[in-house]
A and B are shown apart, each in its own frame.
Chain A
Amino acid sequence: MTKETTPKPDGKDEAEHIVAQIQKKLTDAFDVFDGDKTRSVDVKEVPTIIHSLNLVPTQGEMRDLITEMEDGDNSDIIKYEKFTAVMTDVLVNKKFKPANENKIYKALQVLDTENKGYYTKEDLIRMMTTEGEPLNAEEMNEMLQTCSAFIDPESAAENPKILYKYYINELVVEDTKD
């Protein structure tokens, strides 16, 4: 992994250079989840690694990716080599890129059918746990906790209004730091 790659402008080398860069990125992300340093991770961690690489496959595509990575002998563990092979292809072909952030604002507006500019807690829970790829109780809880920072201070404590315009900034803030 420590092999040095010097960028060269001409075609084939450049492609190799890009692949090398992608693989370094994958190695770092993988290593963070490889707690006992055995060049393997728990299969349960794979969705998190993939999401953390700024990729948003559907749940079905996620399953396909994991199936592709699985090793016959032990399906609880994903090995580094398999992970990198599958994910290099994903990154090289720029698959599963998230939609841009304007769309997420629009999406939030769409769900605000009465154009109120805010959601109640119940609105949010209903939207996130009954449609699409529902959040489970734990995820929902975390989401509400994050949202609690974006409550209209003038709204009543028992019926807080979540100002989603500001919540978007929270969801996208991670990107601006990189």
Chain B
Amino acid sequence: MKESKQISTSSYNLRRNSCCFKSIASCFRSNSVDTDASEKDLTKSDSRTKEDSFSNCNIEPKKFENSLRKESDKIPSCSETSLKTDIALKSALLIQRWYRRYQSRIEMRKLTAWNIYQTIEYSGEQDQLKLYDFFLTLIKNSAIINHSNELINIKSDHSESLLLENQSIENGHLVGANSAFVNKVLESDLEYQKISKNNSRNYLNKRKNTEINIESSYKGMHINLPITKNIFYDLIENFKQNKPLHAKYVILILEETVKALKKLKNINVVSTNVSKNITVIGDLHGQLDDLMLIFYKNGLPSEDNPYIFNGDFVDRGFKSIEVSLIIFCGFLMSQTAVYINRGNHEDHVMNTRYGFIKEICNKYNSQSKKICVLYNEIFSWLPLATLIDTKIYVVHGGISDRTLIKDIYKIKREKYVSVLKPPILNDDGDIIKDLCLEDVLEWRQVLDALWSDPKKTPGIQPNSFRGGGCLFGEDITTEVMKKNNLNLIIRSHECKESGYEYIHGNKILTIFSASNYYEYGSNNGAYCKITSGDTKPVIVQFYLTKGEDITKSLSLRERVNGIEVSAIKHLLEKFAANKKRLLSEYKLKDKENKGSISLNDWCRITGDILELKLPWRILRARLAKLDKDGHVLYESTFEGLSFPQIKNKGDENISESLYRHKDILESIFRAIDKDHSGQISKTEFRDCCKLINHHDPTAMFSDSSIEDMANTMDLDKDGFINLNEFLEAFRLASEKV
């Protein structure tokens, strides 16, 4: 377990460099003090000692001695310099440079692996947004098709990411066979929102009547209201021991949480006067072990040791339910012990893709619908930010040039069951016919808070890299902080290698608390503690080690090898999913049919087809072989790559297409699988595929091939496809990695 406040290992800074010049001058005096006075001169002498003159250890004594004599005028203690030490000095220099070069090259490999993870992660987020933009188009479209009076006019300037615009509406393809299906998607989507609108009136009441029985075999803990300190501690212990919590109690906690959250304002206002300190936790993403480690190191939440959870505690990890229930219970125990901010993953649109809904279905199958609906309601009522001592603003994503705290107070936050869709329902759950500019501006305030990232350069631009919110520069930060009278903004939302990062002249602090987020060894987690009256938070880094590694810490090289292998594997999955299209493009350039193309062509085609902007020139060495002329043997990437389970059953083309869209398919499945049973009918599966044809015209699912695939996957021939089995079928096995 590591705990330090080190600067990132990535590079050595200039201050350190100037130390080095000094050391050359003083030859053997170690740890010389850094003064700037004679630095310029030393730089000159330094350049004379480069290793070009070090050919075969034959030093030119004259020249070298002169240079050192010049130095020795300044440093009397170094007056006698023998040839022997010259050589030693040069040898040391040579090794040090080689070593730095070696480290930098490893650093480059590490960052390249990070690039892969991040690019794939963000392109997934973009994809999910596009999918929901597509749904929006469908909603709009379906209203037109039905000649309904409720013509929704979405004046959304979100349209920069509206991929399909009106393309599918005009050609009228969706009328007919698909319209029933579209209505179903629409219906289930609206139901989510309507249920939570009317929740207090109907849904909750109805549920009260049906008592959930506890089986005698149940071994977990029992909970009675109110939530006390002891119950909170017991719950943590319960989950630590890997015991389940009964659906009845899950629902009980969630219902209480909804009630309590409704009383809160959009921004939590916190004072450290009494507690003297407060701890901020960033993204946890269902990583219960990280939360446990934080509690172990920093103590359990209490009025004297309050916590702010800055969003994104669900999705991706496998214990999102446990993590969120602990947070909610802490909040119910004492509302001055736990404060919660909403993150971009506290949103059912994200949950359909990133695993939280899947987790609920797996763990609480019989009650999954209730639990999903309750979570949605909780998410919509979560405060958007927290203000500490009026000076420190804690928010999941960030700010934009429009951010005004007093405006955020006015937002009707519960309207945004999903932040990713414009608020098209009014208070009564009816569709708003005309979305006015005010509504759009309000919506954008929410998007900016939950989705934005800071950037190095000045100005503001849409966050097209991730798909939502904006990218804001230091000038924007300065302006917003001045307008709102702030000293510091703490945000999360981005994974950082050391778990935290300062940017914009220390005005913005990113805190990310899920360690090993991309892969084992990829990053530390971190949290920060703010002491009353102190402007600078104390940052604590941590990471979880796998049992056997506790005694042996990995060298950078070993760590990089691990994350690199795994990153390349992710990338190879993309290659496999797009094999046919890649090969046909490569072959177009391979006019003489040699099996190889130029590096330029290979990089361009690969980037275009996979739609990933990555340093392909660097990655090539890990992905494809070269022939003797330095051309890329493009087929070498695919050697040993296959989808083993469906290889011989369906036709290869369609399995590739399905694989490429498996995330989208899963999202649609989750959206239409209203009772969250994890099963869909073959008809629904066919309709999903057809929908994807409109989403991505290159998918080209033909009716007969979809039929074949559906039959192949329906192993027990009951007419239903189990979603888990569907996904299992596409687990890529690669002999190469």
Q: Which B residues are in CB contact (< 8 Å) with A47?
A: 11-12, 17, 100, 104
In the complex the two chains form, is A103's CB within 8 Å of B97's CB?
A: no
Nearest CB in chain B: distance from A5 CB, A: 6
In the complex the two chains form, is A110's CB within 8 Å of B87's CB?
A: yes
Q: Which B residues are in CB contact (< 8 Å) with A92?
A: none
In the complex the two chains form, is B30's CB within 8 Å of A130's CB?
A: yes
Contact for A143 among B94, B99, B104, CB less than 8 A: B99
Q: Which A residues are in CB contact (< 8 Å) with B91?
A: 106-108, 110-111
Instruction: Across the interface, name the chain A residue whose C-beta is closest to B7.
Output: A138
1/0 per position for B79-114, CB-CB distance to A under 8 A?
A: 000000001111111111111111111111001100
Give Cα A145 to B115, complex, Å.
26
1/0 per position for B19-52, CB-CB distance to A under 8 A?
A: 1110110011010000000000011101101111
Give Cα A61 to B48, complex, Å.
10
In the complex the two chains form, is B457's CB within 8 Å of A45's CB?
A: no
Residue among B44, B98, B557 having the largest count of chain A Cβ atoms under 10 Å? B98
In the complex the two chains form, is A52's CB within 8 Å of B108's CB?
A: yes
1/0 per position for B451-464, CB-CB distance to A under 8 A?
A: 00111111000000
Q: Which A residues are in CB contact (< 8 Å) with B628?
A: none
Instruction: Across the interface, name the chain A residue whose C-beta is closest to B17.
Output: A59
Q: Which A residues are in CB contact (< 8 Å) with B603?
A: 24
In the complex the two chains form, is B108's CB within 8 Å of A146's CB?
A: no
Q: Is B621 an interface residue (CB 8 A)?
A: yes
Q: Is B618 an interface residue (CB 8 A)?
A: yes
Contact for A52 among B49, B54, B88, B107, CB less than 8 A: B107
Give Cα A142 to B556, complex, Å.
7
Q: Which B residues are in CB contact (< 8 Å) with A48?
A: 10-11, 104, 107-108
In the complex the two chains form, is A52's CB within 8 Å of B105's CB?
A: yes
In the complex the two chains form, is A108's CB within 8 Å of B95's CB?
A: yes
Q: Is A29 an interface residue (CB 8 A)?
A: yes
Binds B, one of A8-16, A32-40, A82-90, A152-160: A32-40
Nearest CB in chain B: distance from A16 CB, A: 14
Nearest CB in chain B: distance from A101 CB, A: 8
1/0 per position for A51-79, CB-CB distance to B under 8 A?
A: 11011111111111010000000101100
Q: Is A25 an interface residue (CB 8 A)?
A: yes
Give Cα A141 to B603, complex, Å.
37
In the complex the two chains form, is B96's CB within 8 Å of A128's CB?
A: yes
Given contacts A32-B115, A38-B456, are A54 and B556 in contact (CB under 8 A)?
Answer: no
In the complex the two chains form, is B95's CB within 8 Å of A104's CB?
A: yes
List A124-168 residues whose CB lies under 8 Å from chain B: 127-136, 138-139, 142-143, 145-146, 148-149
Q: Is B16 an interface residue (CB 8 A)?
A: yes
In the complex the two chains form, is A38's CB within 8 Å of B455's CB?
A: yes
Nearest CB in chain A: distance from B5 CB, A: 12
Q: Which B residues are in CB contact (< 8 Å) with A29?
A: 108, 615, 618
In the complex the two chains form, is B93's CB within 8 Å of A132's CB?
A: yes
Instruction: Across the interface, name the chain A residue whose C-beta is closest to B505.
Output: A76
Q: Is B555 an interface residue (CB 8 A)?
A: yes
Residue among A43, A74, A103, A178 having the largest count of chain B Cβ atoms under 10 Å? A103
Given contacts A58-B46, A146-B557, are A136 and B12 in contact (CB under 8 A)?
Answer: yes
In the complex the two chains form, is A60's CB within 8 Å of B46's CB?
A: yes
Q: Which B residues are in CB contact (< 8 Å) with A31?
A: 115, 613, 615
Given contacts A4-B600, A139-B100, A145-B555, are A111 and B617 in contact (CB under 8 A)?
Answer: no
Give Cα A57 to B46, complex, Å.
11
Q: Which B residues are in CB contact (< 8 Å) with A127?
A: 88, 92, 95
Q: Is B184 an interface residue (CB 8 A)?
A: no
Contact for A66 among B14, B57, B89, CB less than 8 A: B14
Number of B residues contacting the other chain (C-beta, 8 Å)?
80
Contact for B96 among A52, A77, A134, CB less than 8 A: A134
In the complex the two chains form, is A145's CB within 8 Å of B94's CB?
A: no
Give Cα A57 to B20, complex, Å.
14
Q: Size band of the A side of the interface?
A: 35 or more
In the complex the two chains form, is A2's CB within 8 Å of B604's CB?
A: yes
Q: Which A residues are in CB contact (< 8 Å) with B118?
A: 35
List B610-635 residues whose CB lies under 8 Å from chain A: 613, 615-618, 621
Given contacts A28-B617, A145-B556, are A56 and B101 in contact (CB under 8 A)?
Answer: yes
In the complex the two chains form, is A103's CB within 8 Å of B51's CB?
A: yes
In the complex the two chains form, is A98's CB within 8 Å of B96's CB?
A: no
Give Cα A62 to B13, complex, Å.
11
Q: Is A171 an interface residue (CB 8 A)?
A: yes
List B548-577 residues whose CB lies under 8 Å from chain A: 553, 555-557
Q: Is B56 an interface residue (CB 8 A)?
A: yes
In the complex the two chains form, is B30's CB within 8 Å of A98's CB?
A: no
In the complex the two chains form, is B98's CB within 8 Å of A171's CB?
A: yes
Contact for A51 among B42, B88, B105, B617, CB less than 8 A: B105
Contact for A142 among B96, B101, B555, CB less than 8 A: B555
Q: Which A residues are in CB contact (< 8 Å) with B16?
A: 136
Instruction: Across the interface, name the chain A residue whose C-beta is closest to B455.
Output: A36
Q: Which B residues are in CB contact (< 8 Å) with A49?
A: 104, 108
Contact for A134 among B20, B43, B453, B471, CB less than 8 A: B20
Residue among B12, B20, B104, B455 having the largest count of chain A Cβ atoms under 10 Å? B104
Contact for B94 among A7, A33, A63, A107, CB less than 8 A: A107
List B269-322 residues whose CB lies under 8 Å from chain A: none
Give Cα A47 to B88, complex, Å.
25
Given contacts A24-B617, A28-B616, are A36 and B471 in contact (CB under 8 A)?
Answer: yes
In the complex the two chains form, is B456's CB within 8 Å of A40's CB?
A: yes
Q: Which B residues are in CB contact (< 8 Å) with A41?
A: 456
Give Cα A148 to B555, complex, Å.
9
Nearest CB in chain A: distance from B645 CB, A: 33
Nearest CB in chain B: distance from A7 CB, A: 8
Give Cα A63 to B98, complex, Å.
18
List B574-601 residues whose CB lies under 8 Å from chain A: 598, 600-601
In the complex the two chains form, is B88's CB within 8 Å of A32's CB?
A: no
Residue among A31, A104, A132 having the largest count of chain B Cβ atoms under 10 Å? A132
Q: Which A residues are in CB contact (< 8 Å) with B28?
A: 130-131
In the complex the two chains form, is B99's CB within 8 Å of A139's CB?
A: yes
Q: Is A42 an interface residue (CB 8 A)?
A: yes
In the complex the two chains form, is A104's CB within 8 Å of B98's CB?
A: yes
Nearest CB in chain B: distance from A93 CB, A: 14
In the complex the two chains form, is B457's CB within 8 Å of A129's CB?
A: no
Q: Which A residues are in CB contact (< 8 Å) with B94?
A: 99, 103-104, 107
Contact for B88 among A38, A56, A110, CB less than 8 A: A110
Residue among A24, A31, A170 having the largest count of chain B Cβ atoms under 10 Å? A31
In the complex the two chains form, is A133's CB within 8 Å of B97's CB?
A: yes
Given contacts A32-B108, A132-B24, A133-B93, are A174 and B14 in contact (CB under 8 A)?
Answer: no
Nearest CB in chain B: distance from A169 CB, A: 11
In the complex the two chains form, is A24's CB within 8 Å of B600's CB?
A: yes
Nearest CB in chain B: distance from A155 CB, A: 18
5 tightest A-B CB contacts, nearest first: A51-B104, A52-B108, A107-B91, A60-B43, A132-B93
A48-B104, A103-B94, A145-B556 known; 10 other A-B pairs, CB under 8 Å? A37-B613, A38-B455, A48-B10, A54-B101, A59-B20, A104-B95, A134-B96, A139-B99, A148-B555, A171-B99
- Enumerate 23 A-B pairs (CB-CB under 8 Å) in ascending A order: A28-B618, A32-B111, A36-B454, A36-B465, A47-B17, A49-B108, A50-B104, A56-B51, A59-B17, A59-B21, A60-B43, A60-B46, A62-B17, A103-B56, A103-B57, A108-B95, A111-B92, A131-B23, A132-B90, A133-B24, A145-B553, A145-B555, A146-B555
